[in-house]
Amino acid sequence: MNREWSELNKTMQMQIKKESTFQEGIVTLLTLRQKLTDEIFLLKRELDTDDFSARPFASADGYHSKTIAYSLWHVFRIEDIVAHTLIRGDEQIFFLGNYQKRIGSPIITTGNELVKEQISDFSKQLNLDALYQYMAAVNDSTNGILRNLSFTDLKRKIKKEEKEYLRSLAVVSDDENAHWLIDYWCGKDFRGLIQMPFSRHWIMHIEACLRIKKKLL
């Protein structure tokens, strides 16, 4: 893991544990997210469109076996779902902005159910400009949610009816590679969600994207 990102993530996790340093922890998290966002937008400037659907490590075991387009879709669909359906309890950016049509995606899910060539085929269908617009909108929205969280919010857990509502949206596939996500998210409190979808999840997938980029350039 990138040393700077790892240290920021570690510092953030320690800071949000205490009320006295909670706000500092949010600032640290936003700093980390900005650095990762910079890397995401650098990808678009440095790579060709076809590079986003390439799988140079197709036979590998790890996130780098995916495509860059898939990884970006996956990270921000998960963030949108968690931030809006589970934390804020409002409509996802994806639906509010009609992004399925704008991006040209055949799915509304996180993409966990896709494997092998399905990942490549899916990636080739995406309008990258629209995908990046979606990502920016989700990022801005999540950052606003984070700024407005209080220390006491971190202990809040997902209610049964909220979990069932999430299931009803069909944004997580019933496939065996995906269905576990709902239990995973809903088994965490808000602090746990901050520590994965909003931070570490980004790091893991963006590092995989950078590994792909290095191979392609």
Please, what are the averages of pLDDT over each run of 10 residues along the chain (217 residues)? 93 97 98 97 96 96 95 98 97 98 98 96 98 98 97 96 97 95 96 93 96 95
The CA angle 62-198-96, to the nearest 5 degrees, is: 105
Amino acid at 204: M
**What's the rounded Cα separation, in Å, for the pair 139 and 184?**
22
Name 19's Cβ contacts closer than 8 Å, sequence gap at least 6: 151
Cβ of 148: how many Cβ atoms within 10 Å? 10
**What's the rounded Cα separation, in Å, for the pair 36 and 217?**
20
Chain center to CA of 26: 17
pLDDT of residue 85: 97
pLDDT of residue 177: 92
Which DSSP string corresponds to 98-138?
THHHHHT-S--S-STT--THHHHHHHHH--HHHHHHHHHHH
Task: Choose among 76, 96, 87, 71: nearest CA to 33.
Answer: 76
Query: Residue holding tokens 């678009």?
Result: 44
pLDDT of residue 214: 96
CA dihedral 202, 205, 209, 210 (to 10 degrees): 70
Task: Choose among 30, 9, 3, 114: nearest CA to 69.
Answer: 114
Instruction: Judge whether 86 and 193 are in contact, CB under 8 Å.
Output: yes
Instruction: Judge whether 166 and 92 are in contact, CB under 8 Å.
Output: no
* pTM of the predicted protein model: 0.96
Q: Which two tokens stand for residue 3?
A: 């040393």
pLDDT of residue 98: 98
Name 154's Cβ contacts closer than 8 Å, sequence gap at least 6: 16, 22, 189, 190, 191, 194
Amino acid at 144: G
